[in-house]
Homo-oligomer: A and B are copies of this chain.
């Protein structure tokens, strides 16, 4: 089978699908089981003062607007860890899980979160269900953060390979 018979569509720089969602991470403080949606699985090391090595597992809600209490349209399940000794940066890998009338399926995402930049890009490396075999870019922007307890990312997801 050669490429000429393919049904896959791609046109670089013009996404075949575009989704904007907000990611809300509420870190467990040891007591707020009801509200927390993530928890540190490892302690920070002593390599610098920016939590190097602290790994956080999350099951975070994704909403269409930037309100934490809006009804989630997806979940983000995965992890991040802090990985610089001189500033805060993190590395993420996670799955967006959609289970609504609008979308059913998953997107698998990974990349470096260089928090000091206004925006940074993760890779969408695969998809399932409605997002069968998708690839693309998720552009991240820190919408807000409240110390250790809560932060919110805007995720602008553009798929460039859709089946």
Q: Give A residues with C-beta under 8 Å from B.
A: 1-13, 16, 28, 30, 33, 36, 39-42, 45-48, 52-55, 57-59, 77-79, 81-85, 89, 91, 93-95, 97, 105-106, 108, 110-112, 114, 121-129, 132-133, 135-137, 160-161, 163
B133 touches A128 (CB 8 A): no
A57 touches B46 (CB 8 A): no
User: Do A95 and B78 contact each other (CB < 8 Å), given the known contacts A8-B10, A125-B126?
Assistant: no
B106 touches A108 (CB 8 A): no
Can you list 16 A-B contacts with CB-CB less than 8 angstroms, sorted by A residue number?
A1-B11, A7-B12, A33-B46, A41-B54, A57-B82, A58-B83, A59-B89, A77-B84, A79-B81, A79-B91, A106-B112, A108-B110, A123-B126, A125-B126, A126-B135, A128-B137
